[in-house]
Amino acid sequence: MSKWQPISTAPEAIVVETKIDDANGLRNEGKLKRMGSLWFTPDERMYVYYRPTHWRPAL
């Protein structure tokens, strides 16, 4: 398994595994794709209303 990276280094238009891991705990793990400043589901049909904190290459 790849090490989690800070979200600021996430590639654009590539599906990656994401998560939120902050003072409130671990949550919202899933595969997303960054398009500009928004994060979309892999099929690009909708975007999420949060910004992940970490990413790693999708398996």
**For residue 45, with 0-12 CB atoms within 10 Å meaning exposed, 13-18 middle and 19 or more buried, which class applies?**
exposed
pLDDT for position 24: 97
pLDDT at 10 over 90: yes
pLDDT for position 3: 96
User: How far apart (Å, rounded) are the C-alpha atoms in residues 59 and 47?
Assistant: 21
Tokens found for residue 32: 């997303």
Instruction: Give percent of the chain with pLDDT exceeding 90.
Output: 95
pLDDT at 6 over 90: yes
pTM of the model: 0.93
Angle 20-7-13 from CA coordinates, rounded to 5°: 110
The pLDDT tens digits for 25-49 are 999 999 999 999 999 999 999 999 9
